[in-house]
């Protein structure tokens, strides 16, 4: 649980760097550890493009940003419709 919390906080901090006047670099993060380092998301190889959902902002540096962008994209009222009785989203296409 502690490692998951540390990883989530690290990735949230890296995602928020775009709003900071002075960004926090991955190696300078308070959530980073020498004993159990969290990999730098920009250093990882790109994933299979066929598995990605088109997002509003494709340059999200971490999984939190990519997940948020994907959720915003598939729940956009211009392209999707929510049915409360069925509890699901439908594409307008």
How does pLDDT run across 3-48, given as a tens digit for each residue?
A: 888 888 988 888 888 788 888 888 888 888 888 888 765 644 444 4
How does pLDDT run across 50-80, given as a tens digit for each residue?
A: 444 444 555 777 778 888 888 888 888 788 8
* pLDDT for position 83: 87
Give long-range contacts, CB 8 A cutoff, 24+ apart: 38-47: 38/6, 38/7, 38/10, 38/11, 41/11, 41/14
Q: In the chain, where are the structural domains located?
A: 2-91
Note if the pTM is more than 0.75: no
Tokens of 54: 């088109």
């Amino acid at each position: 649980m502690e490692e998951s919390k540390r990883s989530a906080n690290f990735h949230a901090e890296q995602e928020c760097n775009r709003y900071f006047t002075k960004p926090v670099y991955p190696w300078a993060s308070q959530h980073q550890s020498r004993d159990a380092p969290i990999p730098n998301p920009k250093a990882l190889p790109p994933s299979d493009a066929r598995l990605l959902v088109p997002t509003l902002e494709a340059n999200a540096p971490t999984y939190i940003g990519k997940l948020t962008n994907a959720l915003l994209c598939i729940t956009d009222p211009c392209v999707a419709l929510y049915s409360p009785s069925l509890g699901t989203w439908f594409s307008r296409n």
